[in-house]
């Protein structure tokens, strides 16, 4: 076996919620038997954006906020890869917030996991888009990206987990990867992942979370119902966990790629069979 | 028919009216007919950043020999709007012919048309509305009149119409053919009979020419070079590249995406490039400014990407439809930190094709961003060129590893130090090639590192590509008399103008030479050498600060030999104007010397 890079020990603080996400991902990818060379991780900037260094994969450390467009480019060029985007709330909701909306609409075959700790930990604790009002002088309302996702008709998989509930987090991670593997497009999983150093929310979240998975009669296939329930829970100051919405819509790559050809990354560019088409393109400037 | 008629050698036609009048359509139809009968054609557009209204113009030069610019004088003008004639009158002379839309009355006394010019009034608009209930058919009607006037065969005109409008459905074709027939009747009425045109059209050679813009040639080159992923955001004047690829790339299994902004464009392209797919983006100055962070990422993480910049007038939003070459500094120096890059500059559609192929190969071989510097003129002006031999294209993929070659290696390091600065690439999905790619400084495995020794070596590794690529970079093309005391340097849309100015000067007994750069960065020694060897070098460029001249001087060019010719008013330079500037500057130099 060829020696490649050795996954290192995480740089995260002891007790960081991101450990739970890493553990869930390693377990889920193994359980789904995805070979390490078919795993492509696209990571953002921030503490969570170093996750790709801690497991065996093809890893890419994206520019700040650009996880989703990058991951979309990867998937379109080579749909055989299992593409997982990882990053934090600053990366995904602030500097990269515009891409989130368009990615819901676009529905690429990517699993996107946002480790939400409500702060910018790596730069020492500034307010982020999901910080509650009052945190570090924050005068803005916190953003609920699940409700944003529900409001965009193209979204197909919206879930929220919590590092403090590892069993449910593993199930949600598996469900997200399976949704995308089944050709249903973007699976979006937000994980409440406390920053023990700058915004230790374990205590608030332990009592504040609400497990929608175990609520009788909740239907994750009903977008309007999901939106209504999310609004109610928010009014009550609760944080819903679980599979919040799952719909059906073909993934972007199944609509954007020409099925008569190998995927862009897998084409033989020196195939002599291409010559006739090139000649036709040339002739189009003469005829 | 008539042996006494002059042969069509060189004719410049301008069609002008309000935006939306279809001036560009008339010119494009005529260019296509001229191409089909073996003449050379070159067109230029003078449009505004609005969908309709304002005075716009399209110009066509029909030549027996190749000319890649518009002539200094206008021989024939077609105007749909009386304001248009006032705007263009200064370019007419007493031999010019004016055809105007007389639907609203005769030409006013203060039209500015020179005395002696032949003036023909035809109520195009009135006929169009009466016959077809739509003003827009005046462009088909007027095309017929112009065709008659210059001596194009009615059948050739009809064939061009069938080709152009046939694509738009049977009804569009019928109405436009009817409009053509109306135009021919109106031509008969004003005494422009068939076979009695001004010129005899003799084809230059029998082989068919391509009619193509620089943008189209770049897009075509990308496909043939194996490009399979393109992302873009609409921006004048680069958008045609995306539009051509939207039509053609899927036919080869490629993908074209138009995401939400240029940040998404460059990062989506990076994603595709990470998989080993040949990828390109195209934009103009404002978009390139937004992409800068991504450009640095390409340099640092060693990702191959071709970036096309179709330059327009800046700064900021500037004049979006007007030409400039004022992104040279951004192309060469843009982005934070130090990283290697290549900047190439074609001057003709033919070169656009070949340079794009070259750019794709260089990007993959050296794993870095390769820019193609275009400008509005080169991007959008249509020209006839000899057919491109696309079968000769060679795809060079650089150091790529597959599972088999990896299996034979004890260890794989994505950023392994190497003599030429390039490390082998294993596309994601290849067993045994797992790697970390990052914009952080990293060690050979791609692990983040701030070790000073590693940092120094990694920086040197990346920078060393600038040396190892030298033999691979396109050399300047030289034209004219090698020993001449007057030289020119230029890129992009200055090319055709410089060549014509050289011909005019040669005819007046003034020999000149011309160093047409192909590689702007890294600057090859040949360019500063040229300015040292030639006592007076006119560096012609479309910007206010002499960005190209400064770049040459910064690399050892002889400042005292350089005369900067700077254009930044948004108006394309004409050869006669350049000749005038050369003569004035030479006189003033002689004056100073004496």
**Is residue B81 predicted with pLDDT exceeding 90?**
no
Sequence-distant (≥ 6) Cβ neighbours of residue A276 within 8 angstroms:
none
CA of B396 vs chain A CAs: smallest distance (Å): 9
B549 touches chain A (CB under 8 A): no
Cβ separation A58–B447 shorter than 8 A: no
Tell me the C-alpha distance between A91 and A65, whole Å.
4
Query: What is the rounded distance in angstroms from the CA atom of residue A177 to the CA atom of residue A159?
Result: 12
Q: Which of B85, B81, B105 is nearest to B96 (CA)?
A: B85
| Beta-sheet strand order (sheet of B477-480) | B477-480, B512-516, B486-490, B536-541, B562-566
Burial class, B503, CB count within 10 angstroms (exposed 0-12 / middle 13-18 / buried 19+): middle
Q: Measured at the alpha carbon of residue A111, what is the angle toward residues A107 and A115, in degrees to the nearest 5? A: 120
CA distance A266 to B428: 11
For A73, the closest of B268, B413, B436 (CB atoms) is B268
CB environment A195-206: b (16+ within 10 A), e (fewer): bbbbbebeebbe
Distance, CA of A71 to chain centre:
10
B323 touches chain A (CB under 8 A): no
- Whether residue B259 lies within 8 A of chain A, CB to CB, comes out as yes
B216 contact A CB<8A: yes
Edge-first strand order for the sheet with B55-63 is B118-122, B97-101, B76-79, B10-18, B55-63, B40-46, B382-385, B210-213
Query: Any idea which of B22-26, B373-377, B571-575 has the lowest mean pLDDT?
Result: B22-26
Look at the block and give the residue holding tokens 């009386």. B82
> What are the DSSP calls for B71-106, one per residue?
-SS-SEEEESSHHHHHHHGGG--TT-EEEEEGGG-S
* B286 vs B44: CA distance, rounded Å: 23
Q: How far is A264 from chain B (nearest CA, A)?
A: 6
Contact with chain B for residue A71, Cβ under 8 A: yes
CB-based contact, B295 to chain A, within 8 Å: no
Handedness of CA B484, B488, B493, B497 (dihedral sign): negative
Per the listing, tokens 């248009």 go with B84
CB A111 within 8 A of CB A159: no
**Residue A38 contacts B, CB cutoff 8 Å:** yes
Cβ of B435 and A50 within 8 Å?
no
A152 vs B contacts (CB less than 8 Å): none
Contacts of B228 in chain A (CB under 8 A): 77, 264-265, 267, 269
**pLDDT (tens digit per residue) in B504-515:** 999 999 999 999
Range of the domain at A138: 18-259
Closest CA–CA distance from residue B79 to any residue of chain A (Å): 29
Per-residue pLDDT, averaged over B178-207, amounts to: 87
A259/B contact by beta carbon, under 8 A: no
Token output for B572? 């394309």
More confident residue, B265 or B163: B265
B124-172 per-position pLDDT tens digit? 999 999 999 999 999 999 999 999 999 999 999 999 999 889 989 999 9
> Residue A232 CB: number of other CB atoms within 10 A?
11
Separation CA B594–CA B590 (nearest Å): 6
- Determine the Cα–Cα distance for residues B575 and B564; give it in Å rounded to an integer: 16
Q: What percent of chain B has pLDDT over 90?
A: 85
In a domain? residue A12: no
State the Cα–Cα distance between residues A118 and A96, nearest whole angstrom. Answer: 15
User: For A237, which DSSP code?
Assistant: T
- How far the first Cα of chain B sits from its last, in Å, is 58
Quote the CA–CA distance of B559 and B179 in Å, as a whole number.
58
Chain B positions touching A75 (Cβ under 8 A) are 271
The residue written with tokens 């790709």 in the block is A52
User: Chain A within 8 Å of B412 (Cβ-Cβ)?
Assistant: yes
The residues pairing with B372 across neighbouring beta strands, listed in sequence order, are B308, B344
Residue A95 is assigned to a structural domain of this protein: yes
C-beta atoms of B231 and A264 within 8 A: no
Strands B536-541 and B486-490: parallel
Give me the number of domains chain A comprises.
Answer: 1
pLDDT of residue B1 exceeding 60, the answer is no
Q: Are strands A82-88 and A58-61 parallel, antiparallel or unpaired?
A: unpaired
Q: Are strands B229-232 and B279-283 parallel, antiparallel or unpaired?
A: parallel
pLDDT level of residue B206 (50, 70, 90 thresholds): low
Whole-number pLDDT of residue B251: 97
A252, two tokens: 């972007």
Q: Is B408:B382 a contact under the CB 8 Å cutoff?
A: no
Taking the C-alpha atoms of residue B517 and residue B150, their distance in angstroms, rounded to an integer, is 37
Question: How many contacts (CB atoms, under 8 Å) link A and B?
Answer: 227
> Stretch B578-585: mean pLDDT, rounded?
97
Q: How many CA atoms lie within 13 A of B417 on its CB side?
A: 10
Q: Which residue of B lies nearest to A259 if distances are taken between CA atoms?
A: B253
Which of these, B260, B313, B319, lies nearest to B50 by C-alpha position? B319
Q: How many angstroms separate the Cα of B181 from the Cα of each of A202, B128, B150, B178, B196? A: 82, 12, 17, 5, 17
Structure tokens at B376: 């509005």
Exposure of A210 in the CB half-sphere (CA atoms within 13 A): 17
How far is B281 from B271, CA to CA, in rounded Å? 12
Inform me whether the C-beta atom of residue B246 falls under 8 Å from chain A C-beta atoms. no
B319 at A interface, C-beta within 8 A: no
Residue A139 has a CB neighbour count (10 Å cut-off) of 7
Q: Say if residue B440's pLDDT is above 60.
A: yes
- A5–B447 CB contact, under 8 Å: yes
Instruction: Kindly list the structural domains of chain B, giving each domain's residue range(s) and its CATH number in brackets, ordered by start.
Output: 10-208 (3.40.920.10), 211-392 (3.40.50.970), 399-474 (no CATH), 477-593 (3.40.50.920)
Q: At what angle do helices A18-31 and A166-181 cross, to 10 degrees?
A: 50
CB A191 within 8 A of CB A115: yes
Q: Is the peptide bond before B315 cis (omega within 30 degrees of 0)?
A: yes
- In this predicted structure, what is the pLDDT of residue B2? 45
Q: First and final CA of chain A: distance in angstroms? A: 55
Cβ-count burial of A173 within 10 angstroms (0-12 exposed, 13-18 middle, 19+ buried)?
A: buried
Binned average pLDDT, 10 residues per bin, chain A of 287 residues: 92 97 98 98 97 97 98 98 98 98 98 98 96 96 97 98 98 98 98 97 96 97 98 97 98 97 97 96 91
Residue B229: list chain A partners with CB under 8 A. 73, 76-77, 264
Q: What is the pLDDT of residues B535-553, one digit of tens each?
A: 999 999 999 999 999 999 9
Do residues A114 and A69 make contact, with C-beta atoms less than 8 angstroms apart?
Answer: no
Window 151-180 of B: residues touching A by CB (8 A cutoff) are 163
Q: Quote the CA–CA distance of B121 and B98 in Å, as a whole number.
A: 8
H helix intervals, chain A: 18-31, 67-77, 89, 97-106, 145-151, 166-181, 202-208, 223-235, 252-256, 275-283
Question: Tokens representing B241?
Answer: 């590249």
**What whole-number distance in Å separates Cα of residue B421 and Cα of residue A55?**
28
Residues of A in contact with B259 (CB under 8 A): 69, 72, 102, 106
Contact list, A275 vs chain B (CB under 8 Å): 391
pLDDT digits (tens, 9 = 90+) for B441-499: 999 999 999 999 999 999 999 999 999 999 999 999 999 999 999 999 999 999 999 99
A5 in contact with chain B, both atoms CB, cutoff 8 A:
yes
Whether residue B274 lies within 8 A of chain A, CB to CB, comes out as yes
Q: Which residues of B touch A274 (CB under 8 A)?
A: 252
In this structure, are residues B538 and B487 in contact, taking their beta carbons and an 8 Å threshold? yes
Kind and range of the H or E run holding B99: strand B97-101
Contact status, residue B423 vs residue B414, Cβ threshold 8 Å: yes
Q: Token digits for A223?
A: 């977008």
Q: Helices B547-554 and B526-533 meet at what angle, rounded to 10?
A: 90
Residue whose structure tokens are 């934070």 = B336
Q: What is the pLDDT of residue B594?
A: 79
Q: What share of chain B is helix, strand, coil (3-state, %, to 5)?
A: 45, 20, 35
Cβ contacts of residue A76 below 8 Å, gap of 6+? A108, A252, A253, A256, A257, A264, B229, B255, B257, B268, B271, B272
Model confidence at B321: pLDDT above 60 = yes
**Residue-averaged pLDDT of chain B:** 95
pLDDT per position as a tens digit, B418-431: 999 999 999 999 99
- B187-201: average pLDDT: 88
Q: What are phi and psi of A218, to 5 degrees?
A: -75, 130
What is the rounded CA–CA span in Å between residue B401 and residue B425?
A: 6
- The CATH number linked to A227 is 3.40.50.970
CB atoms closer than 10 angstroms to residue B12 = 24
Residue B3 pLDDT level (bands cut at 50, 70, 90):
low
DSSP string, B266-289: HHHHHHHHHTT--EEEEE-HHHHH
Which residues of chain A from 121 to 180 reach within 8 Å of chain B, CB to CB?
A: none
Helix (H) or strand (E) holding B551: helix B547-554
Nearest CA distance, B207 vs chain A (angstrom): 10
Q: What is the pLDDT of residue B351?
A: 98
**Cβ(A236)–Cβ(A255) below 8 Å:** no
Q: Are B502 and B579 in contact (CB under 8 A)?
A: no
ipTM confidence = 0.98
Strand partners, B41: B62
Indicate whether A187 belongs to any domain: yes
How do strand B536-541 and strand A110-116 relate by DSSP bridges? unpaired
**What is the torsion angle, in degrees rounded to the nearest 10, for the CA atoms of residue B260, residue B264, residue B269 and residue B272?**
-90
Q: Is residue A61 part of a domain?
A: yes
């Amino acid at each position: 076996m060829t020696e490649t890079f050795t996954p290192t020990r995480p740089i995260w603080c002891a007790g960081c919620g991101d450990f739970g996400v890493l553990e869930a991902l390693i377990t889920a990818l193994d359980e789904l038997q995805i070979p390490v060379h078919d795993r492509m991780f696209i990571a953002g900037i921030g503490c969570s954006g170093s996750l790709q260094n801690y497991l065996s994969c093809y890893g890419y450390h994206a520019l700040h906020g650009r996880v989703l467009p990058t991951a979309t480019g990867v998937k379109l060029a080579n749909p055989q890869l299992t593409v997982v985007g990882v990053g934090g709330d600053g990366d995904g909701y602030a500097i990269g917030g515009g891409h989130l909306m368009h990615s819901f609409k676009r529905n690429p075959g990517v699993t996107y996991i946002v480790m939400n700790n409500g702060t910018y930990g790596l730069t020492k604790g500034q307010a982020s888009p999901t910080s509650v009002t009052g945190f570090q002088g924050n005068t803005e309302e916190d953003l609920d990206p699940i409700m944003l996702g529900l409001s965009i008709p193209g979204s197909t998989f919206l879930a929220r987990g919590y590092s403090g509930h590892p069993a449910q987090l593993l199930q949600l991670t598996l469900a997200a990867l399976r949704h995308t593997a089944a050709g249903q497009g973007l699976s979006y999983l937000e994980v409440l992942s406390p920053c023990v150093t700058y915004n230790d929310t374990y205590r608030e979240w332990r009592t504040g979370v609400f497990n929608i998975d175990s609520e009788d009669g909740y239907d994750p296939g009903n977008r309007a119902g999901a939106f209504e329930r999310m609004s109610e829970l928010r009014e009550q100051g609760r944080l819903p966990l679980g599979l919040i919405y799952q719909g059906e819509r073909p993934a972007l790559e199944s609509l954007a790629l020409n099925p008569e050809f190998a995927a862009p990354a897998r084409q033989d560019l020196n195939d002599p069979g291409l010559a006739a088409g090139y000649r036709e393109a040339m002739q189009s400037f003469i005829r | 028919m008539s042996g006494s008629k002059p042969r069509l050698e060189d004719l410049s036609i301008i069609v002008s009216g309000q935006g939306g009048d279809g001036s560009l359509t008339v010119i494009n139809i005529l260019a296509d007919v001229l191409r089909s009968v073996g003449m050379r054609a070159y067109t230029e557009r003078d449009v505004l950043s609005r969908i309709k209204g304002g005075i716009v113009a399209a110009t066509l030069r029909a030549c027996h020999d190749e000319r890649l610019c518009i002539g200094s004088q206008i021989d024939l003008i077609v105007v749909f709007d009386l304001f248009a004639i006032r705007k263009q009158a200064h370019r007419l002379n007493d031999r010019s012919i004016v055809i105007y839309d007389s639907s609203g009355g005769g030409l006013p006394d203060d039209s500015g048309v020179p005395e002696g010019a032949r003036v023909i009034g035809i109520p195009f608009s009135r006929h169009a509305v009466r016959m077809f209930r739509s003003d827009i058919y005046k462009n088909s009607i007027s095309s017929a009149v112009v065709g008659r006037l210059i001596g194009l065969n009615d059948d050739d005109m009809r064939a061009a119409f069938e080709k152009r409008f046939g694509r738009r459905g049977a009804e569009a074709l019928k109405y436009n053919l009817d409009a053509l027939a109306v135009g021919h009747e109106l031509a008969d009425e004003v005494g422009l009979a068939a076979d009695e045109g001004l010129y005899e059209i003799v084809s230059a050679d029998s082989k068919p020419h391509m009619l193509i813009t620089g943008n189209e040639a770049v897009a075509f080159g990308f496909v043939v070079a194996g490009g399979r992923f393109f992302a873009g955001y609409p921006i004048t004047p680069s958008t045609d590249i995306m539009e051509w690829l939207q039509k053609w790339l899927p036919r080869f299994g490629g993908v074209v995406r138009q995401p939400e902004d240029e940040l998404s464009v460059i990062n989506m392209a990076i994603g595709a490039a990470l998989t080993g797919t040949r990828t390109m983006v195209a934009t103009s100055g404002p978009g390139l400014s937004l992409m800068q962070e991504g450009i640095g990422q390409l340099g640092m993480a060693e990702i191959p990407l071709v970036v096309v910049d179709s330059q327009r007038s800046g700064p900021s939003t500037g004049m979006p439809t007007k030409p400039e070459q004022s992104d040279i500094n951004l192309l060469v120096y843009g982005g934070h930190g130090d990283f290697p890059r290549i900047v190439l500059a074609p001057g003709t559609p033919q070169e656009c094709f070949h340079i794009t192929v070259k750019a794709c190969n260089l990007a993959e071989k050296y794993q870095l961003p390769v820019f193609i510097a275009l400008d509005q003129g080169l991007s959008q002006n249509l020209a006839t060129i000899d057919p491109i031999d696309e079968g000769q294209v060679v795809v060079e993929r650089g150091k790529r590893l597959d599972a088999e070659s990896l299996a034979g290696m004890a260890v794989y390091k994505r950023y392994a130090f190497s003599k030429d600065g390039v490390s082998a690439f294993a596309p994601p999905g290849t067993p045994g090639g797992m790697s970390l790619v990052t914009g952080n400084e990293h060690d050979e495995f791609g692990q983040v590192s701030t070790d000073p020794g590693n940092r120094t070596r990694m920086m040197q590794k990346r920078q060393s590509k600038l040396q190892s690529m030298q033999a691979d970079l396109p050399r300047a093309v030289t034209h004219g008399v090698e020993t001449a005391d007057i030289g020119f340097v230029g890129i992009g849309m200055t090319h055709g103008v410089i060549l014509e100015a050289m011909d005019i000067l040669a005819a007046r007994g003034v020999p000149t030479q011309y160093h047409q750069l192909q590689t702007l960065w890294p600057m090859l020694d040949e360019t500063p050498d040229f300015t040292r060897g030639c006592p007076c070098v006119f560096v012609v460029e479309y910007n206010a600060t002499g960005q190209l001249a400064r770049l040459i001087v910064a690399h050892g060019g002889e400042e005292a030999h350089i005369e900067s010719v700077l254009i930044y008013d948004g108006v394309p330079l004409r050869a006669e104007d350049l000749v005038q500037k050369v003569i004035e500057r030479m006189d003033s130099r002689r004056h100073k010397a004496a």
